[in-house]
Amino acid sequence: MSAVAEHTSDVRARGLTPLWACSAVAFLLVSLAIGVLAGPVDLAPGAVLESVAARLHVPGATTSLSPTEEAILWEIRVPRVILAALVGAMLATAGATYQGVFRNPLADPYLLGVAAGAGLGATIAIAYLPEGLRGQRALPAAAFVGGVVAVMLTYAVGRSARRERDAATLVLAGVTVAAFFTAWQTFVQQQNAETLQQVYAWILGNIPSTGWSDVVLILPYVAVAVAVIIALRRVVDVLSLGDDEAASLGVDVRRVRLVLVVAATLGTAAAVAVSGLIGFVGIIVPHTIRLLFGVGYRALLPLSVIVGAGFLVLADVIARTALAPAEIPLGVVTAFIGAPFFALVLRTMRGGSA
Amino acid sequence: MSAIELRDVSVVLGGRAVVDRVSASVAEGEWLALIGPNGAGKTTLLRAIGRLVPFAGEIVLDGRLVAELPRGELARLVAVVPQEPVTPPWMTVSEYVLLGRTPHLGSLAKEGRRDREAAARALARLDLLALRERRLETLSGGERQRAVVARALAQEARIVLLDEPTAALDIGHQQQALELLDGLREESGLTLVAAMHDLTLAAQYAERMVLLDGGRVAAEGAPADVLTEALIAGHYGAAIDVVPVGGRIAVVPRRRAVNRDG
């Protein structure tokens, strides 16, 4: 059996290779740099680096930026870029997770009704809450609650299913709940026509320039959700064999799926609460990684975190600079640049995988 | 002690008893063929043994009640090779076979040296080491079938359940696959339970047979006792001849028209 001993070290799963990890991190760092530097006020890269060094308490480093520039950098640009990174990382990772858990290449983070629920929550907040209340705090909270309630309802409806149809039934239940919530949302919106524009703006998605408060708001959700998903990435590979085979390999399929879906949903609901509905990221980022690297979930999931963050930071740069001082809705940008880019990747790559 | 003990096992699906009070036992190291017409309950019985469908009655594996075993422990006792296994196109052969190690890992762990050794042994046994980096979508049907068996072997379970292991294979690959399973059984004392449609192949390899019809055991015993013209006519509605071949038997379908004329 010497051949076996000789080859044992070659028998391994393709995890995250250093090359891919470094490329992805480099992409993220470049995106972050562009995100911080781009804007109506020119900040010199050198001065920004000095300011960052000073903030990190690097010995001897002092900032050469004016107090106004410091404020622009640390109270507007950096939090907005970090917020975009968190939302992008969450949506891409949740999309990849849903695709794995439901073995459906078209699954996106909104599959189980989180978008429709959040949309209803946000619309109700905009339509019924007094002007003063609906701003910073109430709208995200209402959207978050709406999203979570919708997914809980989806689970409750799906639970009546026979065990062997579990995944498919959940998806159908999600479609049902989403249709119901969307109808309700449309009704509320119709009854309160004066709020149309505000609701519409929310639905198209954007990363708000609200300083650190939104970052602090969603960071715990995104951190926990991503950590749970990354920790379970090998199991997602097992789930791609289907429920039966995963079960016969000793996986408690229902429990694992519940844990993964709860993590992805809570993270997505938090992201949606601050940024509205940003389509496409959850589908486009994982599929681009798949097409480029042809990998399984154990590499795809961590790569989705990093690339998703970089992608949305770049998209947000375009959203706020292309027609400055006006902003283009971020959901429009992600689809507008994402779709042609993905078409290009599809054309270039030979033989894909889902 | 028998490897598998079935006591009054029933499975009800959609209000119908697909498996109806089946009792049987399989000795350690034995090859048992489950035969029977379409819809007889062969697949469902295999799924019950792997606890993939809810069942009534008792299933005992190595002296332990299946219903009470934690999933992971059950998966270390019994490997299941489904009739149409899912083989994700992007997965490499190594990755696929390593998934067989899942029952030996915690849900947060990754494969260690022991797991890679087990996978390498399974790959070597199935002659797949050279293909280990290939993606599953690039394999031929026969190679893919070997990868599926390699995954089951890497699982290192003492009992392997196979649902129509040769259905998708040509006669050469059928023989190869069954020879291989038989070799593994002899070498490592695996217990094999296989649902089989091809009665001649079943007679060639299995030591014992259970004939299921309508979810019940219609006959049980050595191939020569089960594969009789009367039993096959009664349960499959087929007219056959049983001919001796090399110490075992073969089942040959008889054309009715020819029979009438003759």
| Tens of pLDDT, residues A74-101 | 998 999 999 999 999 999 999 999 999 8
Tell me, yes or no, whether A331 lies in a domain: yes
| Torsion angles phi and psi, residue B184, rounded to 5 | -65, -40
Q: Considering only the beta carbons, identify the residue of A5, A232, A245 that sits closest to B85.
A: A245
> What single letter denotes the amino acid at residue B231?
L
Q: Are A271 and A218 in contact (CB under 8 A)?
A: yes
Residue A286 lies in a domain: yes
In terms of pLDDT, which residue wins out, A300 or A107?
A: A300
Query: What pTM was estimated for this model as a whole?
Result: 0.87
Domain of residue A141, residue span: 18-37+46-53+69-348
Q: Do A248 and B137 touch (CB under 8 A)?
A: no
Question: Does residue A62 lie in a domain region?
Answer: no
Rounded CA-CA distance B135/B121 in Å is 19
> Residue A17 — pLDDT band, cuts 50, 70, 90?
confident
In-domain check, residue B95? yes
Instruction: Report the DSSP pairing between strands B78-81 and B159-163.
Output: parallel
Number of structural domains in chain A? 1
A164 at interface of B, judged by CB pairs closer than 8 A: yes
- The span from the CA of B1 to the CA of A77, in Å, is 72
Split at pLDDT 50, 70, 90, the class of B170 is confident
Nearest CA in chain A to B111: A12
A3 falls in which pLDDT band (50, 70, 90)? low
CB contact under 8 A, A234 and B90: no
Q: What is the pLDDT of residues A49-68, one digit of tens each?
A: 889 888 888 888 888 888 89
Residue B26 falls within a domain, yes or no?
no
Helices A114-128 and A139-158, packing angle to 10 deg: 140
Residue A265 half-sphere exposure toward CB, CA atoms < 13 A? 27
Instruction: Look at chain B and count its residues.
Output: 262
More confident site: A133 or B209: B209
Interface test with B, best of A1, A239, A248 (most B CBs within 10 A): A248
3-state secondary structure of B9: strand
Say what the pLDDT of residue B262 is: 44
Does any CB of chain A come closer than 8 Å to the CB of residue B131?
A: no
Is residue B136 a part of any domain in this protein? yes
Q: If you average pLDDT over every residue of chain B, what do you get?
A: 91
What are the helix and strand counts (H, E) for chain A? 17, 0
Per-position DSSP letters for A135-183, written without gaps between them: IIIIHHHHHHHHHHHHHHHHHHHHTTS-GGGHHHHHHHHHHHHHHHHHH
> Across the interface, do A163 and B137 touch by the CB < 8 Å criterion?
no
State the CATH number of the domain containing residue A291. Answer: 1.10.3470.10
Which whole number is the average pLDDT over A204-230? Answer: 90
Query: Residue B125's domain spans which residues?
Result: 86-156
Mean pLDDT of chain A: 86
Say if the Cβ atoms of B123 and A251 lie within 8 Å.
Answer: no
Residue B188 lies in a domain: no
Whether residue B111 contacts residue B101, with contact meaning beta carbons closer than 8 Å, is answered with: yes
B38 three-state secondary structure: coil
* DSSP SS3 for A316: helix
Give the pLDDT score at A217: 87
Which pLDDT value is given to residue B76? 95
Query: What's the pLDDT band for A353 if we cut at 50, 70, 90?
Result: very low
Which residue in chain B is spatially nearest to A240 when comparing CA positions? B88
- Residue pair B253/B238 in contact (Cβ under 8 Å)? The answer is yes
Distance CA(A160)–CA(A177), nearest Å, equals: 14
Nearest to A315 by CA among A14, A136, A120, A85: A85
Question: What pLDDT was estimated at residue A349?
Answer: 63
Tell me the residues of chain B between 84 and 113 that have a Cβ less than 8 Å away from chain A: 85-86, 88-92, 94-95, 97-100, 102-103, 105, 107-111, 113
With beta carbons under 8 A apart, name residues in chain B contacting A251: 71, 102, 107
A6, A11, A259: best to mutate for the B interface, most B CBs within 10 A = A11
**Backbone phi, psi, residue A45, to 5°:** -55, -40
Instruction: Say if residue A208's pLDDT is above 60.
Output: yes
Do residue B80 and residue A245 have CB atoms under 8 angstroms apart? yes
Tokens representing residue B144 in the block: 């893919």
Q: Say which residues have a Cβ less than 8 Å from residue A7's Cβ, sequence separation at least 6.
A: B120, B123, B124, B129, B132
Rounded Cα distance, B230 and B237, in Å = 10
- Looking at residue B234, its pLDDT comes to 93
What tens digit of pLDDT does each residue of B71-87 get?
A: 999 999 999 999 889 99
pLDDT digits 0-9 by tens, A122-166: 889 888 887 766 556 788 888 889 988 998 898 888 877 655 566
A28 pLDDT more than 80: yes
Predicted confidence band at A263 (pLDDT cuts at 50, 70, 90)? very high
| Nearest alpha carbon to residue B118 among B166, B83, B150 | B150
The shortest C-alpha distance from A241 to chain B (Å) reads: 5
Which tokens belong to A83?
């917020």
Name, in order, each residue with C-beta under 8 angstroms of B9's C-beta and a sequence gap of 6 or more: B19, B21, B22, B23, B45, B48, B55, B56, B57, B58, B59
C-alpha–C-alpha distance, residues B54 and B75, integer Å: 16
Distance CA B25, CA B221 (A): 11
In this complex, do A241 and B155 lie within 8 Å of one another by their Cβ atoms?
A: no
Taking the C-alpha atoms of residue B192 and residue B85, their distance in angstroms, rounded to an integer, is 18
Q: How far apart are CA A314 and CA B182, in angstroms?
A: 59
- What CA–CA distance (Å, rounded) separates A285 from A309? 10
List CB contacts (< 8 A) between B113 and chain A.
8
Sign of the Cα torsion A44, A49, A53, A56 reads positive
> Number of structural domains, chain B?
1
A280 falls within a domain: yes
- The answer to whether residue A6 sits within a structural domain is no
Predicted confidence at residue A340, as pLDDT, reads 84
User: CB distance from B79 to chain A under 8 Å?
Assistant: yes
As a whole-number percent, the residues of chain A with pLDDT over 70 amount to 93
The minimal CB distance from B98 to the residues A4, A11, A240 is found for: A11
**A313 occurs within a structural domain:** yes
